[in-house]
């Protein structure tokens, strides 16, 4: 008997086909969910550079505590030698920290000869430039290595340090850049692999150096903007061989370079007073440039989803979003590439946070928070005055739907992330903080001027 002669058989066949299709769709969705979970779990919980694994300041995996004090949720607190503002990096169970330590007898202060110098630390001792490794479980120092010792030619600003550039790691190499005092590549046990010098860098007003290196694949990028001939160098991280070096028409900046992969091609992106530029990662050749920032560039660019976001605030306020697709040559003022600009409440020292299609940034280095849509530059809500915060040098970070803002007086304000942020907690520690917070797993690593803190929710009995 054929199917055409039996309506029940026809209906049964149709029902079976529908069930097969639905089952296939369910299975596909389950597979997609499993793949999404797998991708999520593959995101590293390490904090390999000062702005996290993707340079945005946010962690997709960490679940840090929101409340702490000197007497609450402090897993350990380790006293650090010397002075440094470099943000630590974390790989596995180790926290890597840079510092500078005054050593030897004091002598009469060396006159500060930088044009326009003011508010600088006086050089009256030799200084030791040091890398440390700290156990993330116990807080004990695993190793401490002196990398260089010298009488600095500049003392840096009173609010800065001689160890302000943050290290970077790939799990095999730890790179520390002390600028004029050398670049050092160590293995994870603190043994020196190679070192290089870049010459003496004379910074504006003698305020010191602070741009952090960046590491992508096996290439290390170091930017050296100063009051002489500025330049940028690419090194082979394995042996320190110089891959390329390019001159930069720039004055002093403290902004760090980033590497961003656009359409399968990595670019080195660096902000500057003359222009923000994108360079070919392999050759150092300029791909595009855009003018419009202020003097004294400090905040580092952020790049994601084909766009770059840069901001500055000194004698003028400037911030802009740049579309990378098709960007070639001078794109200044071209609306096809500069998709929005703003000239109010822009960031100076802290680098913005990029989270869920929004930029979070502070006015200059004050407790006034703006939240801007990355596509339009619109600010639908805010700004928010956070009265608990004063001078802020640390950049904002985020994890688990919360935003963390830390000031130099030892106060951290934790905010909720939704459309209308609310204060979750105000936390105070007895130290001063200029380094940015690190969020890894269920911990906060916070580097002060005197102590390194590990903050973790205490287990309840």
What residues contact residue 277 under an 8 Å CB cut-off, 6+ apart?
269, 270, 286, 287, 288, 289, 290
β partners of residue 220:
215, 235
pLDDT at 32: 41
pLDDT mean by block of 10 residues, the chain; 461 residues: 39 41 41 39 75 95 97 98 98 98 96 93 96 98 98 96 98 98 98 98 97 98 98 98 98 97 98 98 98 96 98 94 98 98 96 96 96 96 94 97 97 90 97 98 98 91 57
Please state, in angstroms and rounded to a whole number, the distance separating the CA atoms of residues 125 and 127. Answer: 6
Positive or negative: CA dihedral 114, 166, 401, 322: positive
Distance of CA 46 to the CA centre of its chain: 13
CB distance 322 to 276 below 8 Å: yes
pTM of the model: 0.90
pLDDT at 342: 96
Please state, in angstroms and rounded to a whole number, the distance separating the CA atoms of residues 361 and 209. Answer: 23
Question: Nearest-5° angle of CA 72, CA 78, CA 79?
Answer: 120
Per-residue pLDDT tens digits for 50-107: 999 899 999 999 999 999 999 999 999 999 999 999 999 999 999 999 999 999 999 9
| Residue 372: CA count within 13 A, CB half-sphere | 29
pLDDT at 8: 43
CB distance 206 to 242 below 8 Å: no
pLDDT at 179: 97
Question: Nearest-5° angle of CA 152, CA 153, CA 157?
Answer: 80
Please state, in angstroms and rounded to a whole number, the distance separating the CA atoms of residues 80 and 71. Answer: 19
If you compute the radius of gyration of the chain from its CA atoms, what whole number of angstroms results? 25
């Amino acid at each position: 008997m054929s199917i055409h002669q039996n309506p029940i058989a026809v209906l049964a066949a149709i029902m079976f086909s529908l069930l097969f299709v639905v089952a296939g769709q369910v299975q596909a969705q389950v597979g997609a969910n499993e793949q999404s979970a797998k991708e999520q779990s593959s995101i590293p919980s390490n904090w390999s550079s000062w702005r996290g694994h993707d340079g945005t300041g946010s962690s997709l995996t960490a679940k840090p505590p929101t409340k702490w004090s000197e007497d609450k949720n402090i897993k350990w607190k380790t006293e650090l030698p010397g002075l440094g503002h470099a943000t630590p990096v974390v790989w596995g169970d180790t926290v890597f920290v840079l510092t500078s330590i005054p050593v030897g007898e004091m002598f009469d202060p060396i006159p500060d000869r930088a044009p326009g110098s003011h508010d600088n630390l006086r050089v009256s001792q030799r200084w030791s430039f040091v890398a440390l490794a700290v156990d993330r479980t116990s807080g004990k120092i695993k190793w401490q290595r002196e990398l260089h010792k010298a009488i600095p030619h500049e003392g840096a600003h009173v609010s800065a340090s001689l160890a302000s550039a943050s290290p970077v790691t790939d799990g095999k190499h730890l790179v520390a850049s002390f600028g004029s005092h050398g670049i050092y590549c160590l293995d994870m046990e603190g043994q020196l692999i190679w070192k290089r010098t870049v010459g003496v860098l004379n910074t504006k007003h003698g305020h010191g150096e602070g741009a952090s290196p960046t590491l992508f694949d096996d290439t290390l990028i170091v930017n050296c903007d100063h009051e002489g001939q500025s330049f940028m160098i690419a090194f082979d991280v394995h042996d320190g061989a110089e891959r390329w070096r390019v001159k930069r028409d720039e004055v002093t900046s403290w902004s760090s370079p980033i590497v961003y992969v656009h359409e399968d091609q990595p670019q080195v992106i660096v902000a500057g007073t003359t222009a923000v530029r994108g360079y070919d990662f392999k050759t150092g050749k300029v791909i595009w440039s855009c003018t419009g920032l202020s003097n004294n560039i400090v905040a580092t660019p952020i790049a994601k989803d084909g766009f770059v976001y840069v901001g500055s605030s000194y004698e003028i306020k400037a911030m802009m979003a740049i579309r990378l697709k098709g960007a070639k040559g001078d794109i200044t003022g071209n609306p096809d590439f500069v998709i929005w600009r703003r000239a109010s409440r822009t960031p100076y020292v802290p680098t913005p946070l990029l989270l869920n299609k929004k930029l979070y940034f502070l006015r200059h280095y004050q407790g006034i928070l703006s939240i801007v849509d990355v596509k339009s530059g619109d600010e639908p809500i805010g700004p928010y005055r956070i009265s608990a915060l004063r001078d802020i040098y640390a950049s904002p970070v985020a994890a688990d739907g919360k935003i963390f803002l830390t000031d130099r007086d030892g106060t951290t304000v934790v905010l909720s992330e939704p459309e209308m942020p609310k204060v979750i907690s105000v936390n105070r520690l007895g130290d001063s903080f200029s380094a940015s917070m690190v969020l890894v797993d269920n911990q906060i690593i916070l580097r002060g001027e005197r102590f390194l803190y590990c903050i973790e929710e205490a287990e309840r009995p």
